[in-house]
Structure 1
Amino acid sequence: MKKNVLAILLLFAVFALFAFPAAAEDSQTDKVILVSGYGSSATSPDKVTISFGVETENPDAAIAQSENAALMAKVVAALKNAGIKDANIQTTGYTIYSYVIGEYNPGKWANGTTVYKVTNTVRIISYDVDKAGSYIDAAVEAGANNVNSLQFGLSDEKLIIERNAAIISAVKSARADADSVSSALGLKISGTGTINVGQSYTPVSYSNAEVMMAKDAAGSRVPTTIESGEIKTTATVSIVYTY
Structure 2
Amino acid sequence: MKLMKRATILVLVVGLLAAFAGATAAQEYPPNTLTVDGFGQAFGEPDVVIVQLGVQTSSSDVMEAYNNANIAIQNVIDALKAAGIEDRDLQTTGLYLYQDTPFNPQTGEPGTEPIYRVQNSLTVTVRDVDTVGDIINIGVEAGANNIGGIPFSIDDPAALEQQAREAAIGDARQRAEELASLMGVELGSPSIIVESNDGQPPILYDRAQAGFGGSGVPVEEGQLSVGVVVKVTFNFE
**C-alpha distance in 2 between matches for 1:100 and 1:90:** 31
Q: CA deviation at 1:104?
A: 4.8
SS of corresponding position for 1:149: coil
- What is the deviation of 1:90? 0.8
What residue is the counterpart of 1:217 in the other structure? none
**Is contact 1:151-1:203 (8 Å) kept?**
no
Residue 103 of structure 1 is matched in structure 2 by: 104
Q: How many residues align?
A: 198
Residues 172-183 of structure 1 correspond to what in structure 2 (within 5 A)?
A: 172-183=170-181
Instruction: State the alpha-carbon separation in 2 of the partners of residues 105 and 177 from structure 1.
Output: 70
TM-score, normalised with respect to structure 2: 0.75
One of 218, 221, 224 as aligned partner of 1:228 = 221
Distance in 2, Cα, partners of 1:105 & 1:234: 56
- The residue aligned with 2:78 is 77
SS for the counterpart of 1:177 is: helix
| Shift in alpha-carbon separation, 1:190–1:74, aligned structure 2, 3 A | same
Corresponding residue for 1:202? 201
Any residues of structure 2 matched to 1:181-200 within 5 Å, and which?
181-200=179-198
1:89 is aligned to 2:82: no
- 1:12 aligned residue: none
**TM-score, with length taken from structure 1:** 0.73
* Contact map agreement 1:202 1:231 (CA 8 A) in 2: no
Secondary structure of 1:36 counterpart: strand
Is the Cα contact below 8 Å between 2:203 and 2:226 reproduced in 1? no
CA distance in structure 2 between the aligned counterparts of 1:83 and 1:105, rounded to whole angstroms: 49
Superposition RMSD on alpha carbons, in Å? 2.5
Secondary structure of 2:148 counterpart? strand
1:30 aligns with 2:31: yes
- Structure number with greater Rg is 1
Aligned residues of 2:41 and 2:225 also touching (Cα < 8 A): yes
Aligned to 2:208: none
State the Cα distance separating 1:164 from its structure 2 match.
1.4
Distance 1:139 1:90, change over 3 A: same
SS in structure 2 opposite 1:101?
A: coil
Q: Percent identity?
A: 27
CA distance in structure 2 between the partners assigned to 1:147 and 1:63 by the alignment: 23
Deviation, 1:121, is 0.8
Equivalent runs, 1:103-182 vs 2, <5 Å: 103-104=104-105, 111-155=111-155, 157=156, 159-182=157-180
5+ residue gaps in structure 2? 1-18, 205-214
Deviation at 1:94, TM superposition (A): 0.9
Q: Distance in 2 between matches of 1:56 and 1:175?
A: 59
Contact 2:202 2:226 in 1 (8 A): no
Task: State the SS of the aligned residue for 2:151.
Answer: strand
CA separation of 1:56 and 1:241: change in aligned 2, threshold 3 A: same
Measured after TM superposition, the shift of residue 34 of structure 1 is: 1.6
Q: What letter corresponds to residue 98 of structure 2 in structure 1?
A: Y
Counterpart position of 1:240: 233
CA–CA distance in structure 2, aligned partners of residues 177 and 35 of structure 1: 7
Q: Distance in 1 between matches of 2:191 and 2:183?
A: 19
CA distance in 2, matches of 1:203, 1:150: 14
Q: CA offsets per residue over residues 155-198 of structure 1, 9 Å max, x none?
A: 1x2x1111111111011011112223334444333321111212
